[in-house]
Amino acid sequence: NRQFRLARRPVGHVKREDFEFRTDPARAPEAGEIMVAVEYISLDPAMRGWMNEGKSYIRPVGLGEVMRAGALGTILQSKAEGFSTGDVVTGALGVQSIATIAAKDCTKIDPALAPKPLFLSALGMPGMTAYFGLLAVGEPKPGETIVVSGAAGAVGALVGQIGKIKGCHVVGIAGGAEKCRYIVDELGFDAAIDYKSEKIPARLRETCPEGIDVYFDNVGGQILDDCLAQINLRARIVICGAISQYNNTTPVKGPANYLSLLVNRARMQGMIVFDYADRYAEGAKEMASWLREGRLKSREDIVEGLETFPDTLGRLFTGENFGKLMLKV
Ligand code: NDP
Domain boundaries, the chain: 2-121+299-328, 125-274
pLDDT tens, position by position, 7-64: 999 999 999 999 999 999 999 999 999 999 999 999 999 999 999 999 999 999 999 9
Assess whether the C-beta atom of 174 lies below 6 angstroms from ligand 1.
yes
The answer to whether domain 2-121+299-328 has CATH 3.90.180.10 is yes
* Closest listed residue to residue 148, CA positions, set 216, 231, 235: 216
pLDDT at 253: 87
148: alpha, beta or left, given left = phi > 0 and alpha = psi -120 to 50? beta
Q: Cα of 166 to ligand 1 centre, how many Å?
A: 23
Fold of 125-274: Rossmann fold (3.40.50)
The H or E element containing residue 99 is strand 98-102
Q: Give the bridge partners for 88, in sequence order.
A: 74, 109
Between CA 43 and CA 315 the distance in angstroms is 10
* Mutation probe of ligand 1 site: the residue of 147, 161, 219, 322 with most atoms within 8 A of C-beta: 219
Between CA 254 and CA 264 the distance in angstroms is 18
pLDDT at 261: 98
For the entire predicted model, the pTM comes to: 0.97
Do the domains spanning 2-121+299-328 and 125-274 agree at the CATH topology level? Answer: no
- Looking from the CA of residue 320, the nearest atom of ligand 1 is 9
Q: What are phi and psi of 43, to 5 degrees?
A: -105, 120
Amino acid symbol at 312: T
Q: Cα of 220 to ligand 1 centre, how many Å?
A: 10
Q: Cα of 79 to ligand 1 centre, how many Å?
A: 38
88, 116 contact by CB (below 8 A): yes
Going by CA atoms, what residue is nearest to atom 46 of ligand 1? 319
137, 146 contact by CB (below 8 A): no
328, 39 contact by CB (below 8 A): yes
Q: State yes or no: ipTM above 0.95.
A: yes
Count of CB atoms situated within 10 Å of the CB of 181: 14
Assess whether the C-beta atom of 126 lies below 6 angstroms from ligand 1.
yes
pLDDT at 199: 98
130, 218 contact by CB (below 8 A): no
The low-confidence residues of the chain, meaning pLDDT below 70, are: none
